[in-house]
Structure 1
């Protein structure tokens, strides 16, 4: 059976080579010294030669730009496939796809971010941090990357670092409900009740669904019976 799933990446990898081969094929007569000298004073031949030379130049430039474009498309393709396999709990397949994405385009922040998501999903937290750090290095303005890095740091109980990361996410996106919620969880783990409740109120004001999340979040479990907490989430 023909495997059509990988057909597009194969075409994208080979298309630049096809363009270059065509350019060389059509330029072959013009590149022949005997032909060029014999028709040096032939206006039509000169125009044809110039046209073919321009075609070659445009072809080479096109190959270069298409190569960059195809690498980005490959990175996006494998990155999305990695997330799809992750949702299907296929860790090995998801990680291989994410590796192909970052190999195709090492400077694609989205590919590193998705790789971090996959690694975090399967409890490879330290590796996830490295992937998120790479994404931040490439695009430090993405609040969502800082937010997910904060999630991992909380899981590793690196609370001081997590707090700084949450604050960075909020600095980049002040209405980021998830970042405010994570900040509340950090303060709860630090046993700083007032700060936890302040940030939880802010998170709920931005996204009311955080009420239900707080009622079942183990990070806030110590406050479930607290009257102030009950008032916030009811």
Structure 2
């Protein structure tokens, strides 16, 4: 089932967006060698790491999938931060000021959303959002993602909406769900389209939606690499552990 989920995930238009991006460091689109190897390996379903014991105690096989959903992976927080930083930059490009982790919006349980616009978004209300990245091939999602691309992201968005039922009526809430293998949830896809259109109007860049989709895809690849590498022991030689394992080549002559 993991192969079916992977194939559906990488077949989505969002997953391949990073492959179409200009690999320029000045644009923030450059992937280092290790991140690129892991991104390609996850896309193709080939071995990307030496099997090892994760920080949480679970076994990580050669495909590295465990790291994409492990809560104790050292790369998990960076993946979440990168998604929100991308949203903040996109809002800024559209001429909209935002604040991450707004201090004035709390739930009864003390939690708060990831960000909020500082100007009205719709019907005089500010927009607040909460982003999440879920693993396409996690055991808890694989039954759904093996049948429909983006099923895990859609479910994650629904869970977020249910988590924030008591946000003040002064705000609109938008869940932003993405999957490790690329698919975006319905709200995330809508957000990318709306923001891209606003950036196009603000800057005149006709490919703004496409560029924003590429940037999301690139940040997901970076987050995946950080999450997979975050399972390794602190003393591990990462260059040796995380590589696409190549088949042996016979030389005839």
The TM-score, its normalising length taken from structure 2, stands at: 0.21
Higher helix share: 1
The TM-score, its normalising length taken from structure 1, stands at: 0.22
Larger radius of gyration: 1
Higher strand share: 2
Higher relative contact order (CA 8 A, sep 6+): 2
